[in-house]
Every structure is written in structure tokens, then in C-alpha cells.
Amino acid sequence: MEVSMSKYRWSASCLLLLGLGCFSEDIPTDGVSGTSKSDAETVTRPEEADEALAALEVDSPPRMHTNEPPFPTKAYQPNDYYCDCPDAIDLLSTTLFPVDLDLLRLAQLDKPLPVRYRAVSILTHRKNQAVVPILERMCSTDDAVERFVAWSAYREAVEKKQLPPPSEYSVILALYKKEQDREVHEQIAWFLGTARSKEAVPLLLETLRDDPGDCPVIEALGLIGDPQAVPPLIAAFEKVQHNGHVHCTAIGRLATPQAVEFLIDHLDQYGAVEALADTKSPRALSALQRHLDKLTRTTRPEELDFALTKVAVMKLSCQSPAPLLLALAEDRSNNEWLRHHAMITLREYDASALHPRLLRLFRDDPDPDVKRFCVELLKDSSLEGVTEAIVNCALTAKTPRTMNEGALQDALLEALNKRLGYSYRNLEALQDRLTSSYVAY
């Protein structure tokens, strides 16, 4: 068996030795057994790993992006650096062979930024804390792009628990205070929120007073969870005309009595319904039920508001709402907002007992978003017939005409890669493999 990638073709035995984990336990591997870390360390590193290390030094040419904003942005840089050599990065992120010293060498200052960023990113995925001093240097360099990608990588690593949050924040707060680049400033705020830095709250509140619509700061204050941020967040909400849902979400996370009172008074504001439900306040259910009753009496209620409120009431009023949520999604007389939000909320619960109903819904429902939610919920299912149904859907998929169809195809690709032990990057290549490897189900 071979795994098709955009640049390399790796044999099954090589992939297993490199620790990619591309084969699930119930998929035959042509007689090749799995390799433990101790086994791998006694084997000479294969040349494929050396080729992957060399591939990290590829140039990063400028790219055009779909829906790129009319102003310059650094937001695409991390993904661009990844897309220059994705197979090499994925391999080195998971291999059991000792490549960390080579990566640390590539992360040093004499290498171009794309090379250093790729090496640093891989080291964070490998949970190697030796990368932290390198990240700290990159975060304080004179190059704004380098600072941006470094803070982005550091934040993601802390969020995924690949690296621990800092034990001390004085240097980071000083960098935040003097940062002049808007995008980098936002990245540092996000980092402080992700790291739950209570030391950052006074400085973040100072920023909020100057810019009441600063979304990264608002989100950071919500994540940190210091209740003293509630009055300033409410004051900031009153001063803005846009993105009030960001304020509501942050206020809901803090869940103080004042926060609950504010959300009850602003249930017509987008984001307030979900934020109030998430507070778990004893007052939340009755307030949401009154809001739902008001919407029900309205001749033409706003569909999204109705959907969010109905699902929130169901979550708070039922001890085990998963079957009821799925029933909302199964009922095609409901509008798409209600059906989709019910499926999204179903992700919060153990839906294993509902897999037969989800499989039936996946097979029968024509809505690509409903199908996608079903695939995501069935991705790890051991229910008989799941793989067959997903394969059939993948084999009949055509060039997507809408973003919804494209998202469904991405979900099909991810699910089948996981269930069948593949690593394909596009559905067309997977379809070719399925067509050549399987008798039609």
C-alpha cells in the first residue's frame, strides 16, 4: 500500500517507521507491523527524512489569495510558509526519528524567515520546549512579519498544549506596550488571552479604553476570566456600532451577576443568547424561554435568532438534549438555520448512541451542510456501513459549485483519510485511489 502525497510517495513500511500513523488498527498493512519509538530510535534515519529536512529550505514566493483584502496583511504568511512544503512539514512533525537537532539548526538566525518559521512550527508540534528561547527572540525582532508569525506559532502551541504558557509576563507586556504594528499587537493580545495571563488584564483594559472595538483584546479578557473586566466590557459595548457579539461572548464567559443582567437586557443583540446560555446562570433558562415565546408570537421571526434561542432553551431544559437536537435536524420542515445549529450543538454531546440515525440522515438528506455535520460526527464511528456510505458519497462527488459543497468534500476527504489510513490532499486523488482499489459498494 502507498500513500499518495503531492510531492512524495512513501511506502507503507517507510511511513510506519517514520511514525506518521497513517494506518488504522483495522486496516491491513501488507504484513508490516507498527514500530514503537524505542524500535525506531535503533534504526538508521531513512533518506526520506533527510529529504524532508532539505525541503524545508525551499523559497516562499508571493501568493495570490481568494478574497484577499484590499490592504496589506500578514495573516496569510503562516499558511503560505506551510503550503510551500506541506508533506515535509507533516512528516517531520510526527516522525519518531531524531530530527530535533536538525530543526533547531534550521531555526537559527542565519536562515531565511520561511525556513526558520517552518522549523519552529515543527518543533512546537513535537512539543520540544527548546524552541521557546528561539520563539522569544523571533517575537522581539525588528521585522514585523517575523514577529507576527512567531506570536502566531507561539499562541497556537500554547492553545494546543504543545508548549506551556510562560511563567512570567513582564517582558511580553513590555513588548505589547511598545508594539506599533497593528497586526502584531493583535497577535500578542490573543496570545495573552490564550495563556490566561491575569497579569495582562490592567494593560488590556487600558487598550480597551482607547479602542472599545478591539476584538482581540475583548476576546482575551473573556478568556482570562477576571471579573473586574465586566464593567469596562459593558462600557465598551455601549460605544461601538459593530461586532457587539464579541463583547457579549466575552461578558458571558465572565458570568458575574452583572454580566448575566446585561445579557438578559440585550437578548436582541446577536451573540447574547448563546452567551447567556453558556453562563449556566439559574436565571438564564427563564429569560431565554420568555425570549423564545416572544419570537414565536412574532409573525415572521428572524430565523437565526429563533434557531439560536430554541436550541439554547433545549440545552438548558433537557438533561440529555442530544436526541432532541438530532430530531430538529432530521425534520426538513425546519429552516436551515435551525437544522444546522442543532447539528453544530450536537457536537457538544456524546452522540454514539445516535450513530444509526446519523448514518440514515447522511444517506438520505440532500443538504450538503447536514451531510457534512453527519460525516464529522461519524468520523470515528465503528458502526457497520459508515465507511461504505462515506466512500459512496465521495465517489459520486463532482466539482463543487458552492462553498457548502466544497466544505462537504473537505469533510469526506478528512474522514476517509482517517478511516482508511490515507494521506491524500485532494478528493480527486482519493477518488482515483478508491476507484482502483475497491469494488463498488
Residue 208 and residue 217 in contact, taking contact as beta carbons nearer than 8 Å: yes
Residue 439 has a pLDDT of 52
Q: Are residues 299 and 266 in the same domain?
A: no
Decide if 171 is inside a domain: no
Decide if 175 is inside a domain: no
| DSSP code, position 10 | E
Residue 46 has a pLDDT of 80
Provide the 10 A C-beta neighbour count for residue 15.
26
How many Cα atoms within 13 Å fall on the side-chain side of residue 307?
19
Q: Are residues 119 and 28 in the same domain?
A: yes
Which of 299, 321, 350 terminates a domain? The answer is 350
Q: Are residues 413 and 340 in the same domain?
A: no
Strands annotated E in 218-258: none
* Alpha-carbon span 74 to 131, nearest angstrom: 22
Decide if 188 is inside a domain: no
Q: Which of 244, 199, 202, 192 is nearest to 223 (CA)?
A: 192
Residue 329 has a pLDDT of 98
Which of 114, 145, 164 terminates a domain? The answer is 164
| Three-class SS state of 9 | strand
Q: What is the pTM of this model?
A: 0.83
Decide if 185 is inside a domain: no
Which of 121, 145, 164 terminates a domain? The answer is 164
Digit-coded pLDDT (tens) for 111-138: 999 999 999 999 999 999 999 999 999 9
Q: How far is CA 268 from CA 263, 273, 299, 306, 336, in A?
A: 9, 8, 16, 11, 20
Q: Are residues 149 and 238 in the same domain?
A: no
What domain count does the chain have? 4
Residue 80 has a pLDDT of 94
Q: Are residues 42 and 118 in the same domain?
A: yes
| DSSP code, position 354 | G
Q: Are residues 413 and 292 in the same domain?
A: no
* Alpha-carbon span 388 to 391, nearest angstrom: 5
Domain that includes residue 226, residue range: 196-277
Provide the 10 A C-beta neighbour count for residue 303.
14
Q: Are residues 4 and 140 in the same domain?
A: yes
Decide if 24 is inside a domain: yes
Decide if 376 is inside a domain: yes
Decide if 290 is inside a domain: yes
Q: Are residues 160 and 213 in the same domain?
A: no
* Alpha-carbon span 365 to 369, nearest angstrom: 10
The three-point CA angle 31-46-131 to 5° equals 120
Q: Are residues 230 and 319 in the same domain?
A: no
Q: Are residues 254 and 328 in the same domain?
A: no
Q: Are residues 214 and 152 in the same domain?
A: no
| DSSP code, position 2 | E
Residues of the chain with pLDDT under 50: 1-43, 440-441
Residue 139 has a pLDDT of 98
Decide if 398 is inside a domain: yes
Residue 34 has a pLDDT of 32
| Three-class SS state of 299 | coil
Q: Are residues 243 and 216 in the same domain?
A: yes
